[in-house]
Amino acid sequence: MPWKEQSVMSLRADLALEVLRRKRPVRELAAKYGVSRPTAHKWAKRLAHEGRAGMQTRSRRPHHSPDRTPEPIADFICALRDARPTWGPEKLYAFATDCGTLGVPPPRTAARILKRRDRIRPRKPAPSEITHFQYPHPNDLWQIDFKRAVGLSCCPPRKAIPMSIVDDHSRFSIGLWANPDRQLDTIWPLLWEALGEYGMPLGILTDNDCVFRGRRGGLSAWTARLLRLGITHTSGRGYHPQPQGKVERLHGTIQTDALAEAVFRSPEQLQVALDEFRDIYNHQRPHAALNLQVPADHYQPSPRTRPERIPALEYPEGAVLRKVMNNGAISVRSCRIDIGEGITGHYVRLHDQHPWLEIEYAGHTVRRLRWDELRPDRWI
């Protein structure tokens, strides 16, 4: 028979009394109350020795756990978690074993210890249909992005804008700087320094910030310099940060591990915190996407060394050239063709591939138009 939660103790007592009176066989009474014969005897024995208090449900937790993790090891796991509060049990286990610590419990046991000692929060459910992609080799692609500005508690109040460069294959943080602004004159020397230290990647991915893409979508000075270095520049669609998922995820980790609840009084103080984070991120923090190895284990510098200066533009003798005017356009058949204000004063090469006109800059086709689209006094 079904037992309602509010009358469980009463039903157990009724069953126990009938068993003790011995007016009916225990088998019939057990069937009547929907329990087994051993259970019926158990409740009868408890009622005889403990009275009605014995009808309460007791914990099945054992009084002794000889295989339980020793308290010093549990204390060590909790101390490690306190030092790295954003690391999960898998990362803590991988880090501790890499350091040669003996007796570290596996991740599931560590998770139970952390949960028992209130060191772990419920995990948010992962979004469905996640597609992971990474380039096959280091330096195939670098991702570059700005993080949200960080307020500085100085007088007068100021802000600093962190900029990150991360390798797509290894998640290795190439660079992390606290900048006063997003201007090209500020960020280009930082990229130039990184290219000198780690070599040149095949491509760089950015968002559509005006410093990267220009105001009207033509060639920016940023893109032009990369093309002359032999580096392809691509950018994701506006309001779609998914292609830059790795650098966006890095920014989330920076926020939780380095910036949360921290107060910085100067850009220099913020830079120290970013440098410390970058060292831990590259060399100590296990990464789930890397089978709990660190990014430094998967990264190596590019064999493409950076030149001393940006190469000059060179075109074959006899090539048909046009100079980019101050408005970022060239003139062909009195038609204004927008190339980009970033290369104002530079020359581009015209290729007649009838019925197409191809416009080349530094060995890359930057515009491709049909000849019959060109009209005098038209801007395209």
Q: What is the pLDDT of residues 26-48, one digit of tens each?
A: 888 888 888 899 988 988 898 88
User: Is residue 43 within 8 Å of residue 18, measured between CB atoms?
Assistant: no
What secondary structure letter does DSSP report for 122?
P
- The dihedral over CA atoms of 213, 214, 218, 219, expressed in degrees to the nearest 10, equals -70
Please give the residue that has the higher pLDDT: either 168 or 14.
168
pLDDT in tens, 81-99: 888 888 888 888 888 888 8
> Alpha helix locations (H) across the chain?
8-21, 26-33, 37-50, 71-83, 89-98, 107-116, 184-198, 210-213, 221-228, 245-254, 267-283
Highest mean pLDDT: which of 85-89, 125-129, 315-319? 315-319
Q: Lowest-confidence range among 57-66, 112-121, 224-233, 279-288? A: 57-66
Instruction: Tell me which residue of 287, 296, 299, 298 sits closest to 91, measured CA to CA.
Output: 287
pLDDT in tens, 325-379: 998 999 999 999 999 989 999 999 999 998 999 999 999 999 999 999 898 888 8
Taking the C-alpha atoms of residue 102 and residue 97, their distance in angstroms, rounded to an integer, is: 7
DSSP string, 17-31: HHHHHTSS-HHHHHH
Confidence of residue 123 (pLDDT cuts 50, 70, 90): low
- How many residues belong to the chain? 380
Confidence of residue 238 (pLDDT cuts 50, 70, 90): low
User: Is residue 201 within 8 Å of residue 231, measured between CB atoms?
Assistant: yes
Please give the residue that has the higher pLDDT: either 298 or 242.
298
pLDDT of residue 145: 94
pLDDT in tens, 158-214: 899 999 999 999 999 999 999 999 999 999 999 999 999 999 999 999 988 888 987
> Across all residues in the chain, what is the average pLDDT?
87
Rounded to an integer, the average pLDDT of 275-303 is 94
pLDDT of residue 15: 86
Confidence check: pLDDT of 60 > 80 = no
Please give the residue that has the higher pLDDT: either 278 or 100.
278
- Those residues whose C-beta lies under 8 Å from the C-beta of residue 151, and which sit 6 or more positions away, are 157, 158, 159
* Three-class DSSP category at 229: coil
Q: Label residue 131 exposed, middle or buried (CB < 10 Å: 0-12, 13-18, 19+).
A: exposed
Confidence check: pLDDT of 126 > 50 = yes
